Amino acid sequence: MSLKSLKKQRRIQVVALAAVALVISTALIGYAMRDGINFFRSPSQVMEEPPSPNETFRIGGLVEEGSLIRGDGHEIRFNVTDGGATVPVIFAGVLPDLFSENQGMVGTGRYVDGVFKASEILAKHDETYMPKEVMDALKEQGVYKEPSS
């Protein structure tokens, strides 16, 4: 066997090993992130294409005025809207201090039997902040109003 064919064979082995390592690392990253990625949806998107009950995602919009109902214990019900559609939300827990009607919110959870069952609720943290996804969804529906300075 000549030296050139030995070098060529070694080079092919290194390239094949690198390709296998790349495929394995990509598969491991995908497997690790399968539950870590939460896609954002507006209420209009949820109503147009309801996600499966086992899919965790984020929903955002404005808390509909007059919809906030505090149930037994820690259960809270309210509606979130983007002006185009409204989605009922159930949350069992303690709401953030800044959570109120007609204010922006983002919730993480699942859409089961026509109700968004939230595992986490986030509210805006000052008078002018609203998450970009929520602002874009409200602008798309023509509901967003620029904050007055």
**For strand 39-41 and strand 104-112, is the pairing parallel, antiparallel, or unpaired?**
unpaired
Chain centre to alpha carbon of residue 55: 10
The CATH code belonging to domain 39-141 is: 2.40.50.140
| Alpha-carbon span 116 to 141, nearest angstrom | 20
Residue 90: strand pairing partners: 77, 117
What are 6-54's pLDDT values in tens digits? 888 999 999 999 999 999 999 998 887 766 666 888 898 899 988 888 8
Which residue would you say has higher pLDDT here, 107 or 133?
Answer: 107
Every domain of the chain and the residues it spans? 1-36, 39-141
Which candidate, 103, 138, 109, places its Cα nearest to that of 121?
109
Tell me what pLDDT residue 119 has: 92
Mean pLDDT on 53-72:
87
Q: Residue 52 gets which letter from DSSP?
A: P
Task: Give the chain's mean pLDDT.
Answer: 83
84 sits in which H/E element = none
CA distance to 2, 42, 91, 106, per residue, from 129 (Å): 70, 18, 23, 12
* For residue 149, pLDDT beyond 50: no
**Residue 90 in tokens:** 């159930």
Mean pLDDT on 71-85:
86
DSSP string for 28-42:
HHHHHHTTT--EEE-
Q: Residue 14 gets which letter from DSSP?
A: H
Percentage of the residues of the chain whose pLDDT score is greater than 70: 83
Mean pLDDT on 56-77:
86
